[in-house]
């Protein structure tokens, strides 16, 4: 923490659902003020596995705060989306379109839909902005895996509503590496980096941050009574476990005040 306080250029990479905000308690007003304070002297990137819409809505206009949606496929910074990853090759784009169309129309015999989970064509497909990641609302986890190239991964979120498709090389860690490298190439390297998360997807960025000599923190929700889904990672690459969202907020406020 003392290294973070003393760093000339500090980067904080953090998850937000379960890390900065803990459902069902969503105190966005307090978080907004905290992020404003941190953004005055540090750079914060909030990495969302989803489209980041809620984080962008509440925090997107704060100077010094960037929101990486779809694990970094899209980056919202300074009031606009900026490129943060290369588009997929045309063949992969067509593959994703076909899989999406088949899933959305319920043609797979292994897919059971709940009507309220169906959505219009996703933003990534309609705008052509990025095709590396795609979410498809489904009910069952076994779907179309035989049609996926071996270098692609797919899984379903814990609430069994979102199907996640991506190249296996793309995750929060690969995004963090690209983001830090871009600053280095621009001649503005970070002196210290902190990563914060609470789930398995965040393990990728812990590994990258540890390799950089930064600080990695994981929130362990096992003791929280109000947490809807309690999970405990018995093994983690994070250097420290933290007990709650409130403790993380207190730590961030301490760093902001000292800086």
Helix (H, G, I), strand (E, B) or coil at 81: strand
The stretch 51-76 carries a mean pLDDT of 86
Let me know whether 55 and 128 are in one domain.
no
Let me know whether 54 and 181 are in one domain.
yes
Let me know whether 138 and 20 are in one domain.
no
Rounded to whole angstroms, the Cα distance separating 86 from 11 reads 23
> Which has more pLDDT, 171 or 11?
11
C-alpha separations of 196 from 16, 93, 99, 121, 153 in Å: 9, 32, 33, 32, 24
Q: What is the pLDDT of residue 205?
A: 94
Q: What is the pLDDT of residue 59?
A: 94
**Domain assignment of residue 29, given as a range:** 2-85+171-258
109, 141, 167 — which closes off a domain? 167
Let me know whether 144 and 202 are in one domain.
no
Let me know whether 175 and 162 are in one domain.
no
Q: What is the pLDDT of residues 229-248, one digit of tens each?
A: 445 556 789 999 998 889 99
Let me know whether 107 and 160 are in one domain.
yes
Count of domains observed in the chain: 2
Q: What is the pLDDT of residues 144-172, one digit of tens each?
A: 555 666 666 666 555 555 556 667 777 89
Is residue 12 over pLDDT 90?
yes
Q: What is the pLDDT of residue 141?
A: 40
Let me know whether 199 and 244 are in one domain.
yes
Q: What is the pLDDT of residues 107-135, one digit of tens each?
A: 443 333 322 223 333 333 333 333 344 55
Q: What is the pLDDT of residue 257?
A: 96
> Which has more pLDDT, 1 or 152?
1
Let me know whether 15 and 134 are in one domain.
no
Q: How confident is the model at residue 17 (pLDDT cuts 50, 70, 90)?
A: confident
Q: What is the pLDDT of residue 258?
A: 96
In DSSP terms, 66 is beta-bridged to 45, 77
Give the domain CATH number at 179.
3.40.50.1000
Let me know whether 251 and 179 are in one domain.
yes
Cis peptide before 24 (omega within 30 of 0): yes
Let me know whether 230 and 110 are in one domain.
no
> Which has more pLDDT, 164 or 33?
33
Q: What is the pLDDT of residue 108?
A: 42
Rounded to whole angstroms, the Cα distance separating 137 from 152 reads 18
Q: What is the pLDDT of residues 182-229, one digit of tens each?
A: 999 999 999 999 999 988 889 999 999 999 999 999 998 766 555 444
Let me know whether 7 and 29 are in one domain.
yes
Number of Cα atoms under 13 Å in the Cβ half of residue 49? 24
Is residue 28 over pLDDT 60?
yes
Let me know whether 75 and 190 are in one domain.
yes
**What is the torsional sign of CA 217, 168, 75, 121?**
negative
Range scoring the smallest mean pLDDT among 52-61, 78-87, 196-205: 78-87
116, 134, 167 — which closes off a domain? 167
Query: pLDDT averaged over the chain?
Result: 76
167, 200, 230 — which closes off a domain? 167
Rounded to whole angstroms, the Cα distance separating 135 from 161 reads 10
> Which has more pLDDT, 71 or 41?
41
């Amino acid at each position: 923490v003392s290294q973070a306080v003393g760093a000339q250029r500090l980067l904080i990479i953090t998850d937000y659902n379960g890390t900065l905000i803990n459902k069902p308690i969503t105190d966005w007003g307090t978080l907004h003020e905290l992020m404003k304070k941190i953004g005055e002297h540090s750079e914060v990137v909030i990495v969302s596995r989803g489209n980041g819409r809620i984080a962008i809505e509440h925090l997107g206009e704060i100077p010094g705060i960037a929101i990486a949606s779809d694990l970094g496929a899209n980056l919202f910074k300074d009031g606009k989306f900026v490129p943060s990853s290369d588009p997929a090759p045309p063949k992969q784009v067509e593959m994703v379109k076909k899989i999406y169309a088949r899933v959305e129309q319920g043609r797979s015999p292994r897919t059971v839909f709940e009507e309220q989970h169906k959505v219009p064509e996703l933003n990534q497909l309609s705008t052509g902005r990025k095709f590396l990641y795609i979410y498809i609302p489904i009910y069952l986890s076994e779907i179309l895996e035989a049609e996926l190239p071996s270098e692609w991964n797919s899984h379903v979120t814990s609430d069994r509503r979102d199907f996640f498709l991506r190249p296996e090389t793309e995750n929060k860690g690969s995004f963090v590496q690209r983001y830090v490298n871009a600053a280095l190439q621009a001649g503005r390297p970070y002196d210290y980096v902190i990563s914060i998360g609470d789930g398995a997807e965040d393990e990728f960025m812990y590994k990258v941050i540890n390799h950089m000599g930064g600080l990695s923190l994981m929130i362990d929700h096992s003791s929280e009574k109000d947490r809807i889904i309690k999970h405990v990672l018995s093994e983690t690459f994070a250097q420290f476990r933290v007990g709650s969202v409130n403790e993380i907020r207190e730590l961030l406020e301490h760093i902001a005040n000292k800086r």
